[in-house]
Every structure is written in C-alpha cells, then in structure tokens.
C-alpha cells in the first residue's frame, strides 16, 4: 500500500509528487477537513511549480503573439505609470 498527499482542483486530485502505481490499481481517497491555506510552504511551492509548468506548456502550444499585442501592452504600461496604478 502507498500513500500520497494531493489537493483537489478542477474536478481532479493532483498529487504533490509523482505517483508510481500500476494501471488499473484501486485507491481509497481520504479528504481532510482543513482548507488548502493550511498546507505547508513546501506543498504550496510544489503547487506553484506545477501551475507554472502548466502555464509554460500552454505558451509553448499556443500561436505566436501578434505585433499588436506588444503595442497594446506598451500603451497599458504607459497609462498605468501616468496614473500611478
């Protein structure tokens, strides 16, 4: 028997570390009574790294940004500096 820590997100349990199980293995899932804010800083760090990896993967698989994107972003940065946002 193996035990893994995970968090629930978008309808799935996401493990904090790689899971090594045989396809078709059965599992018992225990849901704890404390919120995600109670996770250790290590677990939060792992979750952030996974989110960053998903973002990078999405950027790799998306179409290149248009030249207009840079123009719009430049205008927004200029506006926010002028307004001191």
Q: Is residue 14 part of a domain?
A: yes
H-helix or E-strand containing 7?
strand 6-9
Among 4-8, 41-45, 69-73, the minimum mean pLDDT is found in 41-45
Q: Which residues contact 63 (CB under 8 A, 6 or more apart)?
A: none
Q: Residue 81's pLDDT is what?
A: 58
pLDDT band at 80 (very low <50, low <70, confident <90, very high): low
Q: What is the pLDDT of residues 8-51, one digit of tens each?
A: 888 888 888 888 889 999 988 888 887 666 667 777 787 888 88
Number of structural domains the chain divides into:
1
Domain that holds residue 44: 6-83
Q: What's the rounded mean pLDDT across residues 47-58?
A: 85
- Is residue 13 helix, strand or coil? strand
Q: Is residue 78 part of a domain?
A: yes
């Amino acid at each position: 028997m193996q035990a893994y820590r995970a968090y629930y997100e978008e309808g799935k349990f996401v493990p904090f570390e790689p899971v090594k199980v045989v396809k078709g293995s059965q599992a018992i899932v225990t849901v704890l009574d404390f919120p995600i804010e109670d996770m250790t800083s290590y677990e939060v760090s792992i979750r952030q790294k996974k989110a960053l990896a998903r973002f990078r993967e999405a950027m790799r698989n998306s179409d290149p940004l248009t030249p207009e994107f840079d123009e719009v972003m430049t205008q927004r940065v200029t506006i926010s500096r002028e307004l001191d946002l």
